[in-house]
Structure 1
Amino acid sequence: MKPLAPILAAVALALTQPARADRPPPDFSPLAKLVAATDASIGHPTGMAIAVVHDGKVVYQGYFGLADIARRTPVTARTDFYIASATKPFTALDVLLKAQQGQANLAMPMQDMFPGLHVAGIDAGTVTLRDLLVHTSGIDNEPLVWATAFSGLHDPHTLRALVGRSGTDAEAAHGTFKYTNVGYNIASVWLDARFKRPWQQQLQHDLFETLGMQQTSAYISQARARGWTMALPYSLASADPQAPLYLTKADDTMQAAGGMVSTAPDLARFLIAQLDPPGRNHPLLARAIGRSHETQASLQAHYLDFERTGYAWGWYTGKYKGHRMLHHFGGFAGFHAHLSFMPDEHAGLVILCNEDMLCPRVSNLIADYVYGVLLHTGNEATVAKRFAALPGEAAELRRQVRAQRDAIDARPWHLTLPRAAYAGTYANPLLGTMRIDVDRHGTMAVHWGRLHAIATGYPKDDQVRVELVPNSGNVLTFEPDHGEVVAVRLEDMVFARQHDTADPR
């Protein structure tokens, strides 16, 4: 690891910036030096894009690291990042715009959203479109989340049927806030059917084009067809941190709870629109934007330095450095996105990364620095010291990951049948097929749509661990009967063994 001298030099530079009574434009060059020096000290050249918005304009842009390590492709203003759950403010705003235009009723219950669909597990007459978008639905539906975000095995028929399998959430009753993708997934199934076109096209027409977001899309295929530079996903927790993660997004895993790629300048345009309550630039959107900032649910939580006392329409609300802030972040294997703004201070921040483990901590410190400068709190030296601690945190993270992986790999297998007996094709009528292969060395490979993994042992009979989503383990449970495996279960999803390879759909 490289010495921390560059970071300490950046600290000194920050401390020597002269103060002026007339408050000159903010100088973020010390921040750029801090980020670059920290990246060099950690030695992991993944990318980052930063855009700072103040008083209706972009006052700073910074681009660091690589979008593609192997090809040495640098991050620039035209690099697209997957923004994961930072998609939610867009989806919610689009529904609010439709409500403003009389095309949607936020009080509409699910039984009216899906006429003719029997939803036995919940009271579909009380859960509303509003509940779905502000996380107070009280609904649990993990199969719908897996299909839309991970496996990609779905079509309009199966999605509607999966909505019908919704059940109550044992941890959060209807009316109680619990953050989840489920509500947005259900809302998008309704949007597709109600407006006779995919929710992706609705966002494109209603928001991206209106806001002039020319390099933003909810379709991976569109981004590739247009030749956009796409940041690849990496993780400091990977066995090889400089190799991209296998799991990448495709059109069928882009979903309304997390399904956009965008650039820092485009997202800065979105924040500028949030900070324009009179609607000078986008009068048709102004009213819906203003409504999207209204807190709908109460909670008491923190994420790193960010207080969360409420949830609006796609935005967490709370105080940050004593000022009202709205924010939403996005996390997925290999990516982290940060959107935040202070309406009363006309200030906002975009941070995009193609790394998922250390980047949230780096983004946390960037926000501390940026808002400190904009609010003139004089905390730059303190933030610089926090930056100086990051290389040590990264090293400790890598040590913990290696120890954890060694422990997982050392687990014995507890299968009650010969390993080859578990190989085969298993199917669920709404979730597609899962294939399990066992080679002559006993290696068990699991394939399910866009997902695949190599199984490892687990300390219970007829269970194995799989890492279908990088750096996130799940347990597969096999169900033997009279010497034959008849089914496999992932969480509450059961796949029955097939004696031919035909897809049940």
Structure 2
Amino acid sequence: MTTTSFLRLPLALAAMLACSPLGAQEADVQAFAAEVDSLRQALRIPGLSVAVVRDGRVVLARGYGWANVEARVPATEHTPYTIASVTKPISGVVAMRLMERGVLDLDRPMSSFDNWAEFCAEAKADGPRIFFADYDCSPRVTLRHVLSMQMNGTAGERFLYNPISFSWASRPIMQATGRSFSDLTAEEVFAPAGMTQSARRHRDLPLRADLDSAMALPYHVDSTGVLRRSPGPGPQGDGAAGGVISTVVDLARFDVALDEGRLISEASRAEMWRPGRSPSGNVLPYGIGWFVQQVDGRRVVWHSGWWEQAYSALYLKLPDERLTLILLANSEGLWWGNPLDGATVERQPFAAAFLRRFRGR
């Protein structure tokens, strides 16, 4: 039974079905769908798309509000958005696929890759001090440290979310393969997962015309409380930290392919989702391209995306329960201020509602 057909049932029959396990699941989906729109309106998000995947099946895929406010173009489950840092889980899968084939060694020293010394020198001299004042450029540093956000202080001893460092990881990956990172992403992830509504773009790679014409436009609420159009994201390089345009339906395809083992092996998936651990035994809340944390005893892997005053995103999985939430928005309304040195997805309003509403097997 689809979520739409459930809504069309006579009230008495719907109530009876809601008492069954299947009916209770359908009722949870519909209650959550209504809650999503209430939260969207409360957070003044002009356009929002959502997908929920349960046991390898998409049980909710819907859009709310407007992809283009001025032209009154509705947001749907097929609306493309800039997914910002939700790109990082995709980049993590690219790295793991290449590792499985022996093309990429995650434990190779960064100093053995071209231009690493130059990047380090420039970043420490001119980069944002919050990310590079204590950045580790020593010979001990490996590609795994970069992809696991363990580069600040002494590499491997603590976690600090450093998107600039992570973005640079595309360069050693390109060096190891002789391919552009965008081509690798298309070949290693988009194609095998069947992600036909996804593409990368950067300053030297224009967005595919069909996606460009359907893109959700970015908005922000100004200091007077008025909703305004925002300029689009500025030009970026072919980095691993961002650059993907996608839809919630396509990210659901990625999610199912990942769970079914069509992208990487179970062992590689476990390695990607294993939180770091410092030499002193402290758990570091990041794997390879994913945040990893426990919320009320439940294992949660996730990533957020935030482009200031333009776009935001959330991709949250409960692997042991086969549950996934995907949200894409054309404002920064999904962002909740997660700290650079921690993982607090339970404070995100939509995530909190999802965790409260759904429990898996």
Fold match by TM threshold 0.5: yes
Shift of 1:124: 4.1
1:233 aligns with 2:218: yes
In structure 1, the residue matched to 2:3 is none
Q: How large is the Cα RMSD of the aligned pairs? A: 3.2
Equivalent pair of 1:84/1:258 in contact (CA under 8 Å): yes
1:197 aligns with 2:197: no
Q: Equivalents in 2 of 1:353, 1:283: separation in Å?
A: 26
1:263 aligns with 2:244: no
Equivalent pair of 1:336/1:354 in contact (CA under 8 Å): yes
Shift of 1:98: 0.9
Deviation sequence 1:178-232 (CA, Å, 0-9, x none): 1101332221122233322321111111011111111111116233355551111
Shift of 1:77: 1.9
Shift of 1:173: 2.9
Shift of 1:273: 3.1
Q: Which amino acid aligns with 2:256?
A: I
Q: Equivalents in 1 of 2:165, 2:45: separation in Å?
A: 36
Partner of 1:105, secondary structure, is coil
Q: Equivalents in 1 of 2:356, 2:238: separation in Å?
A: 35
In structure 1, the residue matched to 2:154 is 173
Structure 1 pair 195/62, CA: closer, same or farther in 2 (3 Å)? same
In structure 1, the residue matched to 2:5 is none
Q: Any gaps of 5 or more consecutive residues in structure 2? A: 1-10, 125-135, 338-345
Shift of 1:114: 2.1
Q: Equivalents in 2 of 1:57, 1:288: separation in Å?
A: 23
Structure 1 pair 353/225, CA: closer, same or farther in 2 (3 Å)? closer
Structure 1 pair 371/273, CA: closer, same or farther in 2 (3 Å)? farther
Moved more, 315-324 or 119-128: 119-128
In structure 2, the residue matched to 1:98 is 98
In structure 2, the residue matched to 1:46 is 46
Structure 1 pair 89/40, CA: closer, same or farther in 2 (3 Å)? closer
Structure 1 pair 229/287, CA: closer, same or farther in 2 (3 Å)? farther
1:329 aligns with 2:304: yes
Partner of 2:169, secondary structure, is helix
Q: Equivalents in 2 of 1:39, 1:310: separation in Å?
A: 28
In structure 1, the residue matched to 2:290 is 315
Q: Which amino acid aligns with 2:170?
A: S
In structure 2, the residue matched to 1:367 is 351
Q: Equivalents in 2 of 1:311, 1:33: separation in Å?
A: 32
Count of residues in Structure 1 that have an aligned counterpart in Structure 2: 316
Deviation sequence 1:103-130 (CA, Å, 0-9, x none): 1111111121127956667544211001
1:52-63 maps to which residues of 2 (within 5 A)?
Answer: 52-63=52-63
Structure 1 pair 127/102, CA: closer, same or farther in 2 (3 Å)? same
In structure 2, the residue matched to 1:187 is 169
Q: Which amino acid aligns with 1:222?
A: L
Q: Which has the higher strand share?
A: 1
Partner of 1:177, secondary structure, is coil
Match of 2:209 among 220, 224, 246: 224
1:95-134 maps to which residues of 2 (within 5 A)?
Answer: 95-114=95-114, 123-134=137-148
Q: Equivalents in 1 of 2:140, 2:315: separation in Å?
A: 32
Structure 1 pair 31/314, CA: closer, same or farther in 2 (3 Å)? same
In structure 2, the residue matched to 1:71 is 71
Q: Equivalents in 2 of 1:267, 1:363: separation in Å?
A: 23
Equivalent pair of 1:80/1:228 in contact (CA under 8 Å): no
Partner of 2:199, secondary structure, is coil
Equivalent pair of 1:109/1:124 in contact (CA under 8 Å): no
Q: Equivalents in 2 of 1:352, 1:173: separation in Å?
A: 35
Equivalent pair of 1:49/1:64 in contact (CA under 8 Å): yes
Structure 1 pair 368/40, CA: closer, same or farther in 2 (3 Å)? closer
Shift of 1:368: 2.7
Q: Equivalents in 2 of 1:238, 1:218: separation in Å?
A: 32
Give the TM-score, by structure 2 length.
0.77
Q: Which amino acid aligns with 1:127?
A: V
In structure 2, the residue matched to 1:407 is none
Partner of 1:106, secondary structure, is coil
1:354 aligns with 2:351: no
Shift of 1:310: 1.9
Structure 1 pair 311/39, CA: closer, same or farther in 2 (3 Å)? closer
Partner of 2:285, secondary structure, is strand
Give the TM-score, by structure 1 length.
0.56
Identity %: 25
Deviation sequence 1:478-500 (CA, Å, 0-9, x none): xxxxxxxxxxxxxxxxxxxxxxx
Structure 1 pair 346/247, CA: closer, same or farther in 2 (3 Å)? same
Equivalent pair of 1:297/1:312 in contact (CA under 8 Å): no
Moved more, 215-224 or 345-354: 215-224
Moved more, 262-271 or 349-358: 349-358
In structure 1, the residue matched to 2:228 is 243
